[in-house]
């Protein structure tokens, strides 16, 4: 009786998790998301033993393997649950076999496997009504779960294709430049906001698709291209930089471009929901902003030792001047900087967090070589070659 109760509980948990994972619109599950995270944690730590390029290729295989792993867990849960139900109430004569029915766990698992796969009983079959009903129910549930698993794979694949489309659009329009605003200013005509409006509309549609895919199917988060310029951290960095710069460097621009307001709101929702669901951001910089005197010195070009955030803000604003007919005064620019800084810090902290979580950055080891490479080189007792380094000055 105890084994039967355990089997019923395991069966209920498996079916409920599969239905929630596949059908729930908010991406809830009982244990699928935790299984994804555990599998990713194991993959990341195993990849640390490999050279960097090999590790990147290995980690890019994690998401496809997770789909097969999850489907296998569901199948194993159903098989094990019904096997325990069969074995818990099994007695002599319950099954018809070639050599007579014996109450064994092996026979229960064998019946459960052939029932789920619906390949036929061959030499074993139920001999009473109760087990016949249980066998029919398992065959039905097996067919439903297998069909749902195919639907789940196709739905995840469509979400990944939408993400790839957004990344390809950004990659083709912005190129490989490390500065999104510079790329935008080079592609858009001066004082022609129609091109900018069209770009923002497409980006907003892409953000909506990305947000829905990540919220609906948590496994999409672990989809990891090998090229970092097409990765999720890079994509969010580009989108966040565009939204923050266009919103705060030119406050009046948001009133003229409703698509900019929509893009900014979409990015805020995306960062908040991803932070709550996957990687909480706890290390957002809270230091005070620079003084107006320091900002004015950097604005005029006299202070070459300005903070990195000030230099990035001024660089983005100068790129924006190529698109809109407006020159910025130091006082107005400083007020815009004070509004831009909290949003930029939050975006950069989130990008840094997910870049580390997805294995693009490692805090514990520089990842220039693996443990296996270090062992293969042997002890450094022999003369080592000298490498010239270019001075930063």
**pLDDT tens by residue, 180-215:** 777 676 666 555 677 778 888 888 898 898 888 888
Q: How far apart are CA 50 and CA 376, in angstroms?
A: 12
More confident residue, 353 or 361: 353
Q: How far is CA 102 from CA 2, 95, 108, 158, 161, in A?
A: 20, 8, 10, 49, 52
Q: What angle do CA 167, 337, 263 make, to 5 degrees?
A: 30
Q: How far is CA 160 from CA 323, 334, 361, in A?
A: 33, 40, 23
**β-bridge mates for residue 96, sequence order:** 125
Contact 25, 216 (CB under 8 A): yes
Q: How far apart are CA 177 and CA 194, in angstroms?
A: 23
Identify the weakest region by mean pLDDT among 123-132, 168-177, 309-318: 123-132
Identify the weakest region by mean pLDDT among 71-75, 133-137, 213-217: 133-137
Residue 393 has pLDDT above 60, yes or no: no
Mean predicted lDDT score pLDDT of the chain: 77
State residue 244's pLDDT score: 86
Identify the weakest region by mean pLDDT among 19-28, 142-151, 318-327: 318-327
Residue 284 has pLDDT above 80, yes or no: no
Q: What is the mean pLDDT of residues 16-41?
A: 87
Q: What is the mean pLDDT of residues 151-176?
A: 83
pLDDT band at residue 248 under the 50/70/90 scheme:
confident
Q: How far apart are CA 31 and CA 83, in angstroms?
A: 21
Residue 231 DSSP label: S
Contact 181, 242 (CB under 8 A): yes
pTM of the model: 0.76
Report DSSP letters for 151-207, one per residue: HHHHHHHHHHHHHHHHHHHHHHHHTT-S-HHHHHHHHSPTT-HHHHHHHHHHHHHHH
Identify the weakest region by mean pLDDT among 38-47, 303-312, 320-329: 320-329
Q: What is the mean pLDDT of residues 281-293?
A: 73
What are 78-108's pLDDT values in tens digits?
A: 989 988 887 766 554 555 444 444 557 787 7
pLDDT band at residue 245 under the 50/70/90 scheme:
confident
More confident residue, 282 or 95: 282
Work out the burial of residue 293: count CB atoms within 10 Å of its CB; fewer than 13 is exposed, 13-18 middle, 19 or more buried.
Answer: exposed
Q: What is the mean pLDDT of residues 111-117?
A: 78
List, in sequence order, the alpha helices (H) in 278-326. 292-300, 308-321
pLDDT band at residue 9 under the 50/70/90 scheme:
very high
State residue 99's pLDDT score: 46
Residue 285 has pLDDT above 70, yes or no: no
Q: How far apart are CA 222 and CA 211, in angstroms?
A: 14
């Amino acid at each position: 009786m105890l084994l039967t109760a355990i089997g019923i509980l395991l069966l209920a948990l498996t079916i409920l998790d599969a239905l929630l994972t596949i059908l729930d619109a908010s991406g809830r599950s009982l244990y699928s998301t935790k299984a994804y995270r555990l599998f990713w944690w194991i993959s990341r730590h195993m990849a640390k033993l490999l050279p960097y390029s090999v590790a990147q290729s290995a980690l890019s295989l994690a998401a496809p393997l997770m789909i097969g792993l999850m489907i296998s867990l569901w199948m194993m849960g159903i098989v094990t649950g019904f096997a325990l139900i069969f074995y818990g109430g099994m007695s002599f004569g319950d099954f018809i076999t070639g050599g007579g029915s014996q109450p064994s766990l092996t026979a229960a698992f064998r019946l459960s496997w052939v029932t789920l796969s619906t390949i036929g009983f061959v030499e074993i079959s139920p001999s009473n009504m109760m087990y016949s009903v249980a066998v029919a129910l398992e065959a039905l549930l097996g067919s439903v779960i297998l069909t749902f698993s195919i639907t789940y794979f196709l739905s995840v694949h469509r979400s990944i294709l939408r993400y790839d489309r957004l990344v390809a659009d950004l990659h083709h329009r912005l190129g490989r430049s490390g500065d999104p605003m510079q790329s935008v200013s080079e592609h858009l005509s001066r004082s022609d906001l129609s091109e900018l409006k069209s770009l923002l509309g497409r980006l907003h549609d892409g953000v909506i698709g990305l947000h829905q895919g990540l919220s609906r199917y948590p496994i999409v988060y672990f989809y990891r291209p090998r090229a970092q310029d097409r990765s999720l951290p890079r994509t969010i960095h580009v989108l966040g930089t565009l939204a923050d710069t266009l919103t705060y460097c030119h406050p009046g621009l948001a009133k003229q471009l409703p698509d900019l307001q929509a893009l900014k709101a979409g990015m805020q929702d995306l960062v908040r929901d991803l932070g709550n669901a996957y990687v909480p951001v706890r290390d957002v910089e809270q230091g005070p902003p620079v003084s107006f005197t320091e900002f004015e010195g950097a604005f005029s070009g006299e202070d070459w030792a300005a903070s990195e955030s000030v230099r990035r803000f001024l660089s983005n604003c100068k790129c924006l001047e190529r698109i809109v007919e407006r020159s910025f005064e130091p006082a107005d620019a400083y007020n815009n900087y004070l509004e831009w800084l909290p949003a930029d810090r939050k975006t950069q902290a989130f990008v840094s967090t997910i870049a580390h979580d997805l294995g693009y950055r490692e805090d514990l080891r520089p990842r220039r070589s693996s443990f296996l490479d270090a062992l293969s080189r042997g002890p450094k007792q022999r003369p080592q070659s000298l490498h010239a380094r270019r001075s930063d000055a």
